[in-house]
Chains A and B, each alone.
Chain A
Amino acid sequence: MLVNLIRKELKVKYTASVLGAVWSLLNPVVFLAVFSFVAAVFRNRVPDFPVFLLSGLLAWNFFANTMQGGASSVIDNANLVKKMAFPREILPLSSVGVALFDFGLQSAVFLVFIGVSGHGFHLPELWLLPLVLVVTIVFATALTLWTAALNVRYRDVGHLLNLALLVWFWATPIVYQGWLVQDKLESIRILGFDAWVLYLLNPVAVIVLGFQRALYGVVVPAAGEDPVLPLISLSGQAGMLLALLGVSVLLLFLAWRSFFHRSGDFAEEL
């Protein structure tokens, strides 16, 4: 059923467009062009900037698409919810699936690009990739179950989400280098806490840093220059991801229960 629903969503999404799934590839390319331009203007020199940007951006896109699709998934399928009995959770799950499909497509092209562009893969770091992928999926699924259910009763959630995602995007080291943040924040203390540690409480920052470490690989790409990625040991990063995985699984459990509790009333609230 889930597979059928994902297939349906994809078909509906691309069926009336000439380029179809190519749109999903065009989006990161345009982003890349824009941010390369911006980076050039600000003389922000990151070696292999496309690889740096895309390794974080694709993960972010997956997260943001899941959240946006998931939040409206129940409302958009009101005609199904009101007329048929089926496990409601497959609606937000299918938006995870749709985002994952786009992410897979983009990643496939991106991985080829990394290989061809001469940046190449960095081996111990690459092992982070499966871990960070699982963390991302679990975390995004948990949040999207929550927003999907809440959005049925309070349509504010959808609007709020768009703003939240905008803030969240810039609070995450996707376009700028993680090391810059670390450098600035490590000496500042807020309420007795290290500001850099507080920054890392943003789960998506941990996720994006994970993707960057796995795919961009090098912390200090050019000897003698400033680092690009924050100075965290590989095992430290794996530890952060594992901790986030634990939290995400707990979140998923709670979100699932809350969704289940609310889903019985969807048909009359729509």
Chain B
Amino acid sequence: MTTAIRIDGISKMFRLYRERPTSLKQRLLVSRSRSEEFWALRDITFDIAEGSSMGLIGHNGSGKTTLLKCIAGILRPTAGTIRYHGRLAALLELGAGFHPDLTGRENVYLNASFLGLSRRETDRIFDDVVAFAELEDFMDNQVKFYSSGMLVRLGFAVAVHVDPEVLLIDEVLAVGDESFQRRCLDRIRRFQADGRTIVLVTHALDVVRDVCDEAVMLDHGTMHAIGTPDDVVRTMRHRMLSDDPTFVPEQGSREVEISGVAIESEGGFRDTVRPGEGLTITVDLRADVPVTDAAVSFAIVSGSTNHPVLEGKTSELGVSLGPVDRKKRVRFRIPPAPWVSGTYFVTVGLDSADGRLFHVQTQHYPLTVPDVDHAVHALAARPTVEIEDL
């Protein structure tokens, strides 16, 4: 496999001025020592194979966009080289490169010319661009009257129709409506099928897992992980949780505690459930002092969006635990549901009716839904509960 983009030892340093000397007077009077160096990227080296799709993930400020801008040739790296061949189109921001006073039509021609297309070549793709963006009725309106969704559609439409060998995308796809996002993803898949190279910067870890063949995680300007999207997303996930100051893995008074949790699918798989399958979450409790008003709850949280897709609590499900002394087992049976693939994390909690927290294990138990499908929806499934004394 040949290399499409070779990123070799890229570092990028920005000067941060406390008060930036933008005038000659300041320049003459203020010494350079008042500036601080900020390394947005440090010694990034990796290759992107031709025809592959690379996902760049990381926190805000991790340097993803800076790296993408270096690849696009907008920023000049302080050290290192980037080599690629062929036409490269970058979609960096909503309406980037559009002039608000020009009409949609004029902007398409201007934008295409920046991406290296001649007027005649643009004539050829013009109708396809307009059709893809679904802006037939608005091409002679000034772009300043466009909505943000329209801008993104037009920008994406131009970028994919100029026939680039390499496409760089930064986060912009999150703006369009769902049907447009789907068409963008379809278009990206066609790109991949044509053997073209894509570099994608995004916070939507699902999309990375879904679209990319490989992923890189940046952390404070350095490469933290590189590998399959699954592995890198998992690494990212762990970093996200450990960085969150409000994230406490385990807490509570432990009058009653969770002694064990087992997650098993209908098919008998541990910690895995396939779309359309039922699921059982078994929670074992142990009480040192008898407690009468305990309630057990669980939440299944999507690993990519950090939103709960399914929650349940014994008291809310109309079931009373009864007095807990010594040991008790609570089983949540979740009926078959259209699980969406991805990694989920299960939180299990134990509290009293008056709000005393006995024990909670936050996102402690992983749950994997194999097989690829996209978008995360909340599931409409009502768990049932069984209680047995041990």
Contact A86 B76 (CB under 8 A): no
Contact B76 A264 (CB under 8 A): yes
Contact A84 B106 (CB under 8 A): no
Interface residues of B in 1-36 (CB under 8 A from A): 14, 22-25, 27
Q: Which of A15, A79, A156 contacts B97 (CB 8 A)?
A: A79
| Complex-state Cα separation, A96 to B113, whole angstroms | 19
With contacts A156-B23, A267-B74 known, is A12 near B102, CB below 8 A? yes
Contact with A along B76-108 (1 / 0, CB 8 A): 100000000000101011001101011000100
Q: Which of B74, B88, B106 contacts A8 (CB 8 A)?
A: B106
| Complex-state Cα separation, A8 to B106, whole angstroms | 8
Residues of A within 8 A of B113 (CB): 1, 4-5
Q: Which of A1, A11, A153 contacts B22 (CB 8 A)?
A: A153
Task: Give how many A-B residue pairs fall within 8 Å (CB-CB).
Answer: 65
Q: Which of A1, A81, A153, A156 contacts B25 (CB 8 A)?
A: A156
A225 at interface by CB-CB < 8 Å: no
Residues of A within 8 A of B22 (CB): 153-155
Residues of B in contact, count (CB < 8 Å) = 28
Residues of A within 8 A of B24 (CB): 154, 156
| Complex-state Cα separation, A190 to B97, whole angstroms | 53
With contacts A8-B106, A154-B22, A268-B14 known, is A79 near B96, CB below 8 A? yes
Residues of A within 8 A of B23 (CB): 154-156
Contact with A along B352-377 (1 / 0, CB 8 A): 00000000000000000000000000
Q: Which of A8, A86, A153 contacts B102 (CB 8 A)?
A: A8
Contact A12 B109 (CB under 8 A): no
Interface residues of A in 1-18 (CB under 8 A from B): 1, 4-5, 7-8, 11-12, 15-16
Besides A4-B110, A154-B24, 15 new A-B residue pairs in contact (Cβ under 8 A), listed by A number: A4-B119, A5-B110, A5-B113, A7-B106, A11-B102, A12-B101, A16-B101, A80-B114, A83-B90, A83-B97, A84-B96, A85-B88, A155-B23, A156-B24, A267-B75
12 of the cross-chain contacts (CB-CB < 8 Å) are A1-B114, A1-B116, A4-B113, A8-B99, A11-B102, A12-B99, A83-B93, A85-B74, A85-B88, A85-B90, A154-B22, A264-B76
A-side interface residues toward B, CB under 8 Å?
Answer: 1, 4-5, 7-8, 11-12, 15-16, 79-86, 153-156, 264-265, 267-268
B-side interface residues toward A, CB under 8 Å?
Answer: 14, 22-25, 27, 69, 72-76, 88, 90, 92-93, 96-97, 99, 101-102, 106, 109-110, 113-114, 116, 119
